[in-house]
Amino acid sequence: MIFTRNKSSLEHILEHFDLCNNDFIQNLKKKKNLAEYTNKILNHATRFEFWNKGCLAGLIALYLNQEDSIRNGYITNVSVIESWEKKGIASKLLENCMLHSKEISLNEVKLEVNKNNYAALNLYKKFNFTIFEENEESTFMRNDLRDVKIFRWEKLGKIFNPVENKISPWLEEYAQSPSTLTFDDFIRVYFSCRSKRDENGANISRSTYIDLDKSNLFNILNIGKQPVLNLGERGCFDEFGTYPMSVIRNNDEVWIYYAGWTRCKSVPFNTAIGAAISKDDGETFEKIGNGPVIPYSINEPFLMSVPKIRKFDNLFYLFYVCGHKWMVVDGKPEMSLKIRFATSSDGINWEKANRDIIEEASGPDESQGSPDVIFRNGKYHMFFDYWDPNTFRKTKSRKIGYAYSPDLINWMRDDSRAGIDVSEKPNAFDNEMVAYPHVFELNKEVYMLYLGNEVGRYGFGLAKLNGDL
């Protein structure tokens, strides 16, 4: 499911109203005021949109009013097309509207609703709207936004720059795919780095870690002296690199899931997901087999990568991406990747969901990566990154998206709530892209590690959650 703000055109809205069957719209149609009204909300209202396959299926329109120093919002329209009624869409749109209102510091939001529209009245009451006026036809409600919780990531700065810490030939540049493991006194951050490019321009990614002081995450206590994973044997899926990866404690062991790299002829490489186990607290890992733990399959033909391992309710979840297609852009191969997941009771035998779980927000070729999930306040929150493979090499742009789910099955994507974007400072390490989010909890705070420009070539940064998920 996909939610946006102010993306709809006049045609979208007119088509949407045509598919709606509510009294307000019907009245406008009768009075032949619909076109005028549509134009008005297009030009003057903030629009909260829900889309289904390119069709605007849900819409809330909010006018902003300034009276002296008081800034108010007025919800002029809440509509959902008939085929999407009673599926909780209005509720999610309203939530987005309230979050945005809070974000732009409105003092209150008001609305008018037909007295007999009990479904709507109940919805507004659920969102803590209170009645301040009534007449024969309508009920007028207001909400001071006191109970609306929003979040933003406050950037704290860059933690680690591999280029300034060249400790060996295999750690030349890049610190990608940070993944944390909590110890009593420190946080261990695994990351992947690259060797110098060889004469063919190819390099090899290895993975190691740094240990961060729990009381000051900018204090690096220790840097791994060697890669935590060996490269695979000849012909194996991980012969030419082990990257990206994520770790989890499993009883007394630490398990790592990683993408292994092999080199191909027609495309530059392929990747598959492997697993390894550490019995020395994450210092070294032993592979559980020479092959991948998640095989390629009928609808996951190649490029299985960015495994993110989690455990919820005693079940392992592996969120990952798989290749949707290889494209050729300006004569060069580019990947279109999609987020998927699999579950397992033992971490070894996996059952794939066999479907894309995050709808594209930037066209069918959109590439998605780094699906990092955290459970908080009764919901699962996913931060991931996405980019357009058609333009990526030129724009160098990659952004962090956000989706949430009540059940790990259905995901509601709403990038406007991600709470983090590229830095506007001209020399910032993340002024072109923010990528590879990894979210973790420490001392009751929530932090995000993320990569900056050139997908972490110069390291990763830290952000802290303001507000709550």
Partner 1 sequence: MKWKKLGKIFEFEKSPFSKRFFSHAQSPQVMVFDDFLRIYFSTRKKDKDSFISYPQYIDYSKDFSNILSYSKGEIISRGKLGCFDEHGIFPFSPMRYQNKIYSYISGWSRRASVDVESSVGLVISEDGGETFQRIGNGPVLSSSLHEPFLIADSFVKCFDEKFYMYYIYGEKWCEATKDHAPERVYKISYALSDDGVNWKKSGKRIIPDVIDENECQALPTVIKIDSRYHMYFCYRHMIGFREEKDKGYRLGYAYSDDLINWVRDDENCGISPTPNSWDSDMMCYPNLFEMEGNVYLLYNGNNFGKTGFGLAKLVKD
What whole-number distance in Å separates Cα of residue 349 and Cα of residue 218? 38
User: Which of 326, 353, 392, 464 touches partner 1 by CB under 8 A?
Assistant: 326
Per CB under 8 A, contacts with partner 1 among 222-261 are 232-237, 239-240
Count other Cβ atoms within 10 Å, centred on residue 331.
5
| Binding piece for partner 1, criterion CB under 8 A, among 3-11, 28-36, 79-87, 293-301 | 293-301
Decide: is 157 part of the binding site for partner 1 (CB under 8 A).
no
Backbone angles phi, psi at 16, to 5 degrees: -60, -50
User: Which of 296, 362, 454, 464 touches partner 1 by CB under 8 A?
Assistant: 296
Decide: is 389 part of the binding site for partner 1 (CB under 8 A).
no
What whole-number distance in Å separates Cα of residue 370 and Cα of residue 354? 18
Side-chain half-sphere CA neighbours of 446 within 13 A: 19
Question: Considering only CA atoms, which of 192, 196, 184, 229 is closest in space to residue 210?
Answer: 192
Per-residue burial over 371-394, b = 16 or more CB atoms within 10 Å of its CB, e = otherwise: bbbbeeeeebbbbbbbbbbbebee
CB of 332 to partner 1, least distance (A): 12
Per-residue burial over 134-165, b = 16 or more CB atoms within 10 Å of its CB, e = otherwise: eeeeebebbbebeebebbebebeebbbbbeee
User: Which of 272, 309, 434, 451 touches partner 1 by CB under 8 A?
Assistant: 272
Closer CB to partner 1, 263 or 394, in the complex: 263
CB of 31 to partner 1, least distance (A): 53
CB of 291 to partner 1, least distance (A): 3
Closer CB to partner 1, 135 or 266, in the complex: 266
Size of the site for partner 1 (CB under 8 A): 37
Per CB under 8 A, contacts with partner 1 among 327-386 are 328, 333, 348
Q: Are 337 and 367 in contact (CB under 8 A)?
A: yes
User: Which of 293, 318, 337, 463 touches partner 1 by CB under 8 A?
Assistant: 293
User: Which of 6, 26, 222, 299 touches partner 1 by CB under 8 A?
Assistant: 299
In a 10 Å sphere around its CB, with 0-12 CB exposed, 13-18 middle and 19+ buried, how is residue 298 labelled? exposed
Q: Are 26 and 66 in contact (CB under 8 A)?
A: no
Closer CB to partner 1, 224 or 323, in the complex: 323
Closer CB to partner 1, 199 or 233, in the complex: 233
Write the CA distances from 110 to 75, 80, 268, integer angstroms: 6, 20, 56
Decide: is 318 part of the binding site for partner 1 (CB under 8 A).
no
Decide: is 22 part of the binding site for partner 1 (CB under 8 A).
no
Residues that bind partner 1 (CB under 8 A): 232-237, 239-240, 262-267, 270, 272, 288-293, 295-303, 323, 325-326, 328, 333, 348
